[in-house]
Amino acid sequence: MDYNAIKSEAEQKTAQTIEILKEEFGGLRTGRASVHLLDGVRAIVYGTEMPLNQMATVSAPETTVLSVTVWDPSNAAAVEKAIRESGLGLNPMTAGGVIRINLPPLTEERRKDLVKVSGKYAEDAKISMRNIRQDLMGKIKRAVTDKEISEDDQHRFEEDLQKVFEHRVSEVDILAKQKETDIMSV
């Protein structure tokens, strides 16, 4: 058994989990416009459902305005409809191939809801990390069962691996706290 490979796998998979969490947090609305707010929006164009970033450019010209420039102006109506029906509570307005979205200020209730959603994202990341840890700890236990390593090595490897996971979980907690602060700041 190669412990360094297991540790490397743990670091790689937990880093991926944190990147996914950052992407999910990017889609959550705070007090300012973010181009990532529309990342999950998909519109039906040319008979196919496509992500917004494959048919338009999203920019934030002002702190409370998003601008979506549709590359093919004939698709603007479909993109506008997709944004309106996305469940994000946005009301787009089209002028030619450009869709402007004025972001209304968040209410206190909506901010609290978004904090709950960000907490759920953070908890999902922690669950993912626990599953990764369980899988890798299982590999170490199997190595002991197969007499590849001693029980002393097992305890040393498990403690070292646990430190990697504790560090990554603390990163998730820090990111979640920062996102909560961003959401709740007016």
38-92 pLDDT, tens digit per residue, is 877 889 888 889 888 888 998 888 878 889 998 888 888 888 999 888 777 788 9
pLDDT of residue 19: 92
Domain ranges of the chain: 3-26+107-184, 35-102
CATH of domain 3-26+107-184: 1.10.132.20
Nearest CA-CA partner of 26 in 108, 91, 117:
117
pLDDT of residue 186: 62
Residues 90-99 as b/e (b if ≥16 CB within 10 A, e otherwise) read bebebeebeb
CATH of domain 35-102: 3.30.1360.40
**Residues in a beta bridge with 102:** 65
- Give pairs for 106-111: CB < 8 Å, separation 24+: 106/29, 106/30, 106/31, 106/183, 111/183, 111/184
